[in-house]
């Protein structure tokens, strides 16, 4: 619960830095918190960092696409701040630490983990936005007929 609140703050405040509209701030924060919760529960379940991040990215982008539909705003507004908590900051930092300590094997391991997480986030977003784009074009087509 404490982490939920922290993750909420961790998406709410970057949203202020990105200057999004006041009424959308709270939804961006909520989106980020739910994404973090998804990441934590998947991680506790499978012990896999990358898989947790992947599922979290899917949850976040699906949520923000839905919010974008409801509030009639671009979905960017929601998912840029809410992806913040699951960015692999720690593993990137550890990579640098290991490089400084000349532990190249560990650095390579951590570096690969970082790359893997980043790729997982990317693929998660890609998957969901492809699906939503398909739904959108279907809607437009059926309206046109």
Partner 1 sequence: MEVREVLNIAILSGEILLTSGSEIYRVEDTIDRICSAYDIKCESFVTPSGIFVSGWALNNINESVSFIKRIRNRTINLHNIEMINTFSRNLQIKTMPYEEAMKILKSIKIAPYFSFTKRLSAAGITSFAYTVLFKGTFFDGILAAGISMFIYFIAEKMKKADFSQYFTNFLCSFIAGLIAVNAGKFIGFLSINSIIVGSIMILVPGLAITNGIRDALHGDILSSQSRVVEALIIVTSIGVGMGLALLLMKVWM
Q: Min. distance of Cβ 48 from partner 1 in angstroms? A: 19
Q: Among residues 27, 95, 110, 113, which is the contact residue for partner 1, using CB under 8 A?
A: 95
**DSSP type of residue 74:** -
| Under rule CB under 8 A, residue 7 binds partner 1 | yes
Q: Among residues 42, 84, 110, 120, which is the contact residue for partner 1, using CB under 8 A?
A: 84
DSSP 21-70: -HHHHHHHHHHHHHHHHHHHHHHHHH--HHHHHHHHHHHHHHHHHHHHHH
Token pair of 87 as six digits? 């960015």
Nearby residues of 44 by Cβ (< 8 Å), 6 or more positions away? none
Q: Among residues 26, 90, 108, 112, which is the contact residue for partner 1, using CB under 8 A?
A: 90
Residue 34: closest CA among 75, 72, 87, 85: 85
| Under rule CB under 8 A, residue 115 binds partner 1 | no
Q: What is the SS3 assignment for 72?
A: coil
Q: Among residues 73, 106, 109, 131, which is the contact residue for partner 1, using CB under 8 A?
A: 73
- Site residues for partner 1 per CB under 8 A: 3, 6-7, 9-10, 13-14, 16-21, 36, 73-74, 76-77, 79-80, 83-85, 87, 89-90, 92-93, 95-97, 99-100, 118, 121-122, 125-126, 129-130, 133
């Amino acid at each position: 619960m404490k982490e939920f609140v922290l993750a909420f703050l961790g998406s709410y405040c970057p949203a202020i830095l990105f200057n999004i509209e006041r009424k959308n701030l709270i939804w961006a924060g909520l989106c980020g918190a739910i994404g973090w919760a998804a990441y934590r529960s998947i991680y506790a379940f499978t012990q896999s960092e990358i898989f947790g991040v992947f599922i979290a990215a899917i949850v976040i982008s699906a949520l923000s696409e839905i919010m974008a539909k409801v509030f009639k705003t671009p979905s960017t507004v929601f998912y840029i701040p809410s992806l913040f908590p699951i960015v692999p900051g720690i593993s990137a930092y550890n990579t640098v630490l290991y490089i400084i300590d000349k532990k190249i094997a560990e650095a390579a391991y951590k570096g690969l983990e970082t790359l893997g997480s980043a790729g997982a986030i990317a693929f998660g977003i890609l998957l969901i936005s492809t699906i939503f784009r398909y739904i959108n074009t279907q809607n437009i087509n059926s309206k046109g007929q």
